[in-house]
A and B are shown apart, each in its own frame.
Chain A
């Protein structure tokens, strides 16, 4: 038998691609850094946890359902979403996290020679999926920390299939207002798909923030992404979805794995949507309070920071962000280093309950004073 030379089988665009290194499990990190607790401020999770309706589902999940495959197309959840948004179930496609639907959309629309357009300093998965699938990702620099709609339009050509707009943007929290979004969609003029990633939709309270779910009724090329990982606090269950016209959804579903969403996630998501919204209010209040506390500290320390929408903010530190990470980890605080987001020496901090935010402030000040 021949020796296996798998390198020969691998396309160049995969060879050149670096695999994403997720961080190690908390217990491993705690052991490495010699701490007995770890505050996770790195993934924009909702530290308050999911609404109470979800707890009941999770706690009472019957073992007898474990050997049974889930609903392959998330039947009940799509019905629930349809009722929630006043649309029909065939307009929703559920994924194993919204990350999975990013991949399905790119697979459905792109072929060799095509490109996608997004920003350089945004959620990395659009760029990654495009590149490891062999498509060009045109990365447009942010302008004043915002997506630059003019430059994105200028970058379009006949091979542009999808434009990804992260609204509000992770990590800068900036968003396009309704006017900007509509002007952009008018100019795209149905030449390409526009994905509006609204992963942090529920965190935005601004009047002029556009709701993609409404816009898509006038702009059929719009696909909206939402997730249960952020506000709804179901990150461990991995569930997110997209919504678009029935035709587009049917098309994308051809490139989408069925049965990728487990039963518990589907049921928990239905339960989460049944909450009357009080837990959203509590979360927003917690985030608002945290913003005040942290921004006050950064002002006092004369540090540059970016705090807009979303349950996170960014601050620029006078040392390598990767060193800041290690020094904070020694004190039981895990933040997100931003060099990989092309914001060298910035850290992103998730906004959580006051006592943890106070612990962060204390550790942060100690690190700055001891460097």
Chain B
């Protein structure tokens, strides 16, 4: 069984992002980048399935600038067997990424595609769902447990007020939630080994995909600062303020 895991290079979660002075986006120059944490969970899950003998190959894919190779190396240090970079300097929106992934899946024919449920930079939460739709595959989003048995994959999902288990035929698309697993540390020897694993580069053109942006960013703003709190004298005043100032009741 082959598993394909898309991984995205995003601003490291430790970095405090700063909106550019011209409000066109966030500052990325010399900012620490890292693998999207949900994708790390996806890679970890795939590698565990390989270690358990359920999967035979784990392929990591990243779409974007040349530095995404570092993200792929990290994926391979965690245990992916090889990497594919879809190399482009263009701004990629979820639909474009989903189309690129579809083109790669058509070539690679994976049995499972495990993605992060969302990327922590744009929080779009769309790529997995779009990919499943484009490929006409079953999908299970927000997975907190994944089990493969007898040609089927069952996924436990966290939903409001409980858990839901879905059983799907493969190939299928899964997106990971935070509690699926805790990714391992990439060790030095594994980072060294990852440098020697195969990494193939393709372009959107070669895959026949038009990645042109369909959405325009109008403006990016910092969240408004919190205004200072006020002390209320008694319950009556609190109710009055909630009603007439905050207008929440």
Q: State whether these chains interact.
A: no
